[in-house]
């Protein structure tokens, strides 16, 4: 959508590479692209159905939560899962599904941590995730026109792991109203303070914002104002803006100077957001159903606004055109 507004970029690409312009995109490997009135809707209905079929849960009962809000350390003594290759295959496939359902990133990240030695308890956690997936097969990412300005949310779950007390970081970056980048990662070290955990997450997010700004400049997308970075930790924000370097922050010396340089150069603006409005919260910890649904909507992950024709979806150009025409007329069925 952006490239259509910048013919000079397309002309430059033609001069540098041997390429041709295709028609409107309708299908990318395992991702269906639906052209709706408000923009685009990306979904992986068929791909998600194939994952359920592989796990033998195509007709399972839907569950309203992707994972339990209270984790347990009992998995350490659980019996080893008898089909480790099946566990790795399913969890590996779920990673690609997060391209259109980023709200599942944290649950999938937790499942990935035990691919080397999965247990029955771990597989039961994955089964709960698959039951949740059964009820959200039609969900996907919505992209709508909006201002070409960057803003991001950064969060961490300090000492969130019950097993080793390591923390999980997460961020999500928006271009206008649209989610374009996100990440969930369990860190390999233990942080001794929540401020340190939050500050290190700020550094990761600013690195991503710096790269995205460079990419947008390369394709001639103007940057009117520096991106906004929202954080819910006042201590981390104060550390980013305070020119006085405190001795207690020496543990994060490199990150301190990196963020300070970016803030002083006005390459990014760090602002406070309340914990209730912290969108990245969904990428760092399990949440109650109501909270999860609220943040899921903020990520622009929503049910399909169009009607699909069963598990095979609609892949041909003719069927896609008919679908768009009927949706524009307000028809309820294709």
Q: Tell me if 299 sits within 8 A of 155, measured CB to CB.
A: no
pLDDT one-digit tens code per residue, 110-142: 999 999 889 999 999 999 999 999 999 999 999
Q: Tell me if 106 sits within 8 A of 283, measured CB to CB.
A: yes
Residue 321 pLDDT class (50, 70, 90 cuts): very low
SS3 156: strand
Question: What pTM does this model have?
Answer: 0.80
Q: What is the pLDDT of residue 1?
A: 43
SS3 68: coil
Q: What is the pLDDT of residue 66?
A: 86
- Distance, in Å, from the CA atom of 324 to the CA atom of 120, rounded to the nearest integer, reads 45
Length of the chain: 334
- When the candidates are 3.30.420.10, 3.40.50.880, 3.40.50.300, 3.30.465.10, the CATH number that belongs to 146-282 is 3.30.420.10
Tell me where in the chain the CATH 3.30.420.10 domain(s) lie: 146-282
Residue 276 has pLDDT above 80, yes or no: yes
- Edge-first strand listing for the sheet containing 301-303: 27-28, 31-36, 39-43, 139-143, 301-303
Q: Tell me if 295 sits within 8 A of 103, measured CB to CB.
A: yes
Residue 313 has pLDDT above 50, yes or no: no
């Amino acid at each position: 959508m952006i490239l259509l507004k910048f013919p000079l970029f397309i002309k430059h690409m033609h001069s540098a590479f041997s390429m041709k312009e295709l028609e409107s995109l309708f299908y990318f490997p395992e991702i269906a692209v639906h052209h709706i009135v408000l923009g685009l809707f990306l979904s992986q209905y068929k791909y998600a159905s194939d994952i359920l079929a592989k796990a033998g849960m195509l007709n399972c009962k839907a569950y309203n939560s992707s994972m339990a809000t209270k984790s347990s350390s009992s998995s350490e003594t659980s019996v080893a899962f008898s089909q480790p290759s099946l566990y790795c295959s399913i969890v590996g496939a779920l990673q690609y599904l997060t391209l259109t359902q980023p709200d599942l990133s944290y649950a999938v990240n937790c499942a990935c941590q035990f691919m080397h030695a999965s247990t029955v308890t771990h597989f039961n956690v994955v089964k709960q995730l698959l039951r949740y997936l059964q009820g959200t097969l039609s969900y996907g990412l919505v992209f709508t026109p909006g201002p070409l300005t960057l803003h991001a949310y950064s969060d961490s779950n300090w000492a969130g792991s019950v097993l080793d007390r390591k923390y999980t970081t997460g961020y999500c970056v928006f271009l206008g109203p649209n989610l374009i980048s996100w990440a969930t990662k369990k860190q390999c070290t233990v942080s001794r303070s929540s401020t340190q955990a939050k500050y290190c997450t700020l550094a990761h997010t600013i690195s991503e914002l710096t790269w995205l700004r460079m990419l947008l400049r390369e394709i001639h997308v103007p940057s009117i104002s520096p991106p906004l970075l929202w954080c819910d930790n006042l201590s981390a924000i104060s550390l980013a803006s305070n020119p006085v370097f405190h001795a207690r922050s020496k543990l994060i010396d490199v990150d301190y100077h990196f963020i300070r340089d970016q803030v002083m150069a006005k390459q990014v603006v760090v602002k406070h957001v309340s914990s209730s409005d912290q969108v990245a919260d969904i990428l760092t910890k399990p949440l109650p159903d109501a909270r999860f649904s609220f943040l899921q909507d903020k990520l622009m992950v929503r049910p399909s606004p169009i009607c699909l024709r069963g598990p095979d979806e609609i892949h041909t150009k003719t069927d896609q055109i008919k679908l768009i025409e009927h949706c524009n007329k307000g028809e309820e069925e294709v």
